[in-house]
A = this chain, B = another copy of it.
Amino acid sequence: MKDYLSMNIDELKSEYEIVKERYNKLKQLDLKLDMSRGKPGKEQLEISVNMLDILDSNSQLITEEGVDCRNYGLLDGISEIKEIFSGMMEVPSDNIMVGGNSSLNMMFDTISCFMIKGVGGCKPWIKQDKIKFLCPVPGYDRHFAITEYFGFEMINIPMLATGPDMDIIEKLVAEDEAIKGIWCVPKYSNPQGITYSDETVRRLANLHPKAKDFRIFWDNAYCVHDLTEEGTKLLNIFDECKKAENEDLPIIFSSTSKVTFPGSGVAAMAASDNNMKVIMEKYKYQTIGYDKINMLRHVRYFKDYNGILEHMKRHRDILKPKFDVVTDTLDREIRDRNLAKWEKPDGGYFVSVDVHNGCATRTVELCAQAGVKLTGAGAAFPYGKDPDDSNIRIAPSYPSVHELEKAMEVFCISLRLAVLEKELNI
């Protein structure tokens, strides 16, 4: 297996003919496979199906504190589920608000709140001239979409193996008062699977932004989503910020969307007393309260935070072989040919592949034509623009192992074809 970068023109041409033929054969299989979103597969959904037996008409639906979950009330969620989220998010339950089914919605609502009312004693964001947000790239497309919706200017921050480039961040936030926030997926980042190093977390906690209303949007979506037995350990940003007398910096989000049922799970957020005061002042007007029966269902199912950890092992058992297919195939087909860079993640939902510059869009296109749907090239960047057209996000969770093998075969051949087309100016 030869490094494409060392091939001469004739070798490239003959390789092109071989790859083209293999691609065309794959195309004829008329596949319909989807590796585009971090969507749990059917076997994963089956794991949680007993949750539907937890509550029935004979169940006692009163919380420990005597709240009838069937009726109105309790804006911040039942205390039992706050306790579980306290374990999951490593934040005291007094600083937690439990919401509906979507942490993304809570992020959207939080930014909306700061737009209208401001935070940190500052003017509402909407009354300020310009709002900028730091976006570690590649990152989560739906984060960037929210800040785009609100019209913020987004600034790309390179991701390093340790997390976002702190040298750049420290410099930017110290200088520019328009910078109001940063999007972080600190554990098993979307899409690279990077867990921020202790130093990165400490430096974030010790930021001294010019804007008093700068906030770290800490989307700990994958806090319990390990792919290895040991997992990786993320330093507790809430505690580090407290130590740094900077406790108003982080706003932390999490949910059970990829623990139980996506769309029918429970989401939560956590922040300092000051921040929660601003946020609860909004929720008070926004709603009477969220679905306490579904909260109770989760509580009775998991019993405690340990129950969640046990449950996550079953997800791991299903996901691990799928990730192995992806990285094993890349190792076998791509590494020696020197066509891309990637890391084997220890958790999360994605494998991020950096292909030769200028080849991502074409690879995704070739995959699509052969029936394999990938996340659009560039999706992991603000405005959907990958400056190098290099990054591709692979989401292995939804297809079966067998389908993945086929899909990855298509991916590798498509990537080879895209690179050859580029080298040969086809």
Give the size range of A's interface with the partner. Answer: 35 or more
Contacting pair A105 B71 (CB below 8 A): no
Q: Is A191 an interface residue (CB 8 A)?
A: no
| Contact A101–B261 (Cβ < 8 Å) | no
- How many whole Å from A388's CB to the nearest CB in chain B? 26
Which chain B positions have C-beta within 8 A of A50?
57
Within the oligomer, what is the number of copies of this chain? 2
Asked whether, in the complex, the Cβ of A52 is within 8 Å of the Cβ of B45, the reply is no
14 contacts across the A-B interface (CB closer than 8 A): A40-B71, A45-B71, A48-B70, A52-B55, A52-B57, A53-B57, A56-B56, A70-B264, A72-B263, A102-B287, A102-B290, A104-B287, A291-B291, A294-B294
Inter-chain contacts of A145 with B (CB < 8 A): 285
C-alpha gap A53/B55 in the complex (Å): 8
Encoded as 1 (CB less than 8 Å from any B CB) or 0, chain A from 63 to 81 comes to 0000011111100000000
Q: Which partner residue on chain B sits nearest A281 by CB separation?
A: B149
Known: A45-B71, A59-B52, A71-B45. Is A263-B292 also a contact (CB below 8 A)? Answer: yes
A86-94, A108-116, A130-138, A228-236: which lies at the B interface? A108-116
Known: A102-B288, A116-B115, A145-B285. Is A264-B294 also a contact (CB below 8 A)? yes
Asked whether A158 is an interface residue with its Cβ less than 8 Å from the other chain, the reply is: no
Cα A262 to Cα B126 in complex, Å, equals 34
Tell me which residues from 244 to 265 in chain A have a Cβ below 8 Å from any Cβ of chain B: 257, 261-264
Contact with B along A209-238 (1 / 0, CB 8 A): 000000000000000000000000000000
Q: Which residues of A contact B (CB under 8 A)?
A: 37, 39-40, 42, 45, 48-50, 52-53, 55-57, 59, 68-73, 100-102, 104-105, 108-109, 112, 115-116, 126, 142, 145-146, 148-150, 257, 261-264, 282, 285-294
Chain B's closest residue to A127 (CB) is B126
In the complex formed, the residue of B with least CB distance to A289 is B263
Q: Are A104 and B52 neighbours in the complex by a CB distance under 8 Å?
A: no
Give, as a whole number of angstroms, the nearest-CB distance from A32 to chain B: 14
